[in-house]
Amino acid sequence: MSPLAGPPRRVIAWAIPLVIALAVLPFAAPPYQTVLLSYGLVFAIAALGFNLLLGYTGLLSFGHSAYFGVGAYAVAFVVKYLKLESMEAFLLAGVLASAFVAALFGVLCVRYTKIFFGILTLALSQVLWSLAFKFFWVTGGTDGLRVPTPTLLGGTVKMTAAGGQDKLGFLSHRYYYYVLAVFVICVAVMWVIVHSPFGKALQAIRDNETRAEFVGVQVWHYRWVAFLISGIYTGLAGALWVPLNGLTTPDILYWQFSGKIVFFTVLGGFQTFFGPIIGAVIYNYLETYAVGHTVYWQMVLGVVLVVLVLALPAGIVGTAMRLMPRWRRAAAP
């Protein structure tokens, strides 16, 4: 069976306890840990979107910072120009803006594959980075734009001093649950997409573009739709990320952040559905602790990446899935 497939019942059987564990986390762990995990879940949504292109369509984008950044800046503009603080408005703005940019960039990119596709996505994301960098009167330049703590669910859930909540308390409880809910919805929707007839068509394009064309799949059109969905997921992640970070700067549009999204996915395993999710969460911990413990944190990550590619090319989840039958056999009497 393809490692990307899998009976939904088995997945649901271990997904439900996991979601319950995530739901009780704010009561069991210090606020800092919950916020840290929120970052991980947000990155996981971006990686999930990214992997629709890499794992399922066979296109390696080096420019996904563009959609993450567009999602983040769209939120900042909503605050700056529309004076809104509603999280739903933020998400809507993030989704619409990233959809627009992904639709546009997608038209240019999906006609190419392999290195040409990668370089084109990279170049386009760098154009956005330079715009954010240079047009400081709109974007705040390197200072970036501040984003206040939003109100949730149409303004019914707020950070209130009267309720004894400070920003960390809000982010580690209410906002964490908000992120968790959006994350669960995103995972469920993506699961359906990759197991839909459309998802099968993408995998067919990945495996054999010519044959896909000869069963009547219009390859460019499907690639473009995949690109669009991928961009929207990443943009949505960007919109969720800004309130956590409180600020968006051009760094988030820079190619290095695109590289991080690639790293998330390779770390977890791009040939599995859950790999990018696990990879994003683990990477987030890895980077946070590496930064906290050494000034040579980039070297630590570099070594991890090298070891990963050499020793576990299938990523953490991919390797675990390969080993699982062996473990089961060993466990059996």
Partner 1 sequence: MEEGRRAVNILQTERLTKYFGDTHAVDHVDFTVTEGEVLALIGSNGAGKTTLVNLVSGLIPADSGKILFQGTDITSASIHKKIELGIARSFQLVNLFDRLTALDNVALAIFSRDGKTRKLLSLAESDPAVRDEAQGIMQSFGLASKAAMVAGGLSQGERKLLDVAVAYALRPRLLFLDEPTSGVSTREKAPIMDIITSIVRSGRITAVIIEHDMDVVFTYCPRIVAMHQGAILADGTPDEIRRNEQVTANLLGTQSHA
Q: Residues interacting with partner 1, by CB under 8 A?
A: 1-2, 4-5, 8, 189, 192-193, 195-201, 203-204, 206-208, 210-218, 222, 225, 229
- Smaller CB distance to partner 1: residue 156 or 210? 210
Query: Smallest gap, in angstroms, from Cβ of residue 205 to partner 1?
Result: 9
- Smaller CB distance to partner 1: residue 17 or 216? 216
- Angstrom distance (rounded) from CA 332 to CA 237: 42
Query: Smallest gap, in angstroms, from Cβ of residue 148 to partner 1?
Result: 35
- First-to-last alpha carbon distance for the chain, in angstroms, is 25
Query: Smallest gap, in angstroms, from Cβ of residue 93 to partner 1?
Result: 24
Strands (E), the chain: 145-146, 247-248
- Angstrom distance (rounded) from CA 316 to CA 44: 15
- Smaller CB distance to partner 1: residue 111 or 195? 195
- Smaller CB distance to partner 1: residue 128 or 317? 317
257, burial (CB in 10 Å: exposed 0-12, middle 13-18, buried 19+): buried
Query: Smallest gap, in angstroms, from Cβ of residue 57 to partner 1?
Result: 12
Query: Smallest gap, in angstroms, from Cβ of residue 11 to partner 1?
Result: 12
Q: What angle do the packed helices 255-268 and 31-57 form, to 10 degrees?
A: 80
Q: What angle do the packed helices 219-245 and 65-82 form, to 10 degrees?
A: 50
Cβ atoms of 117 and 106 closer than 8 Å: no
- Smaller CB distance to partner 1: residue 199 or 243? 199
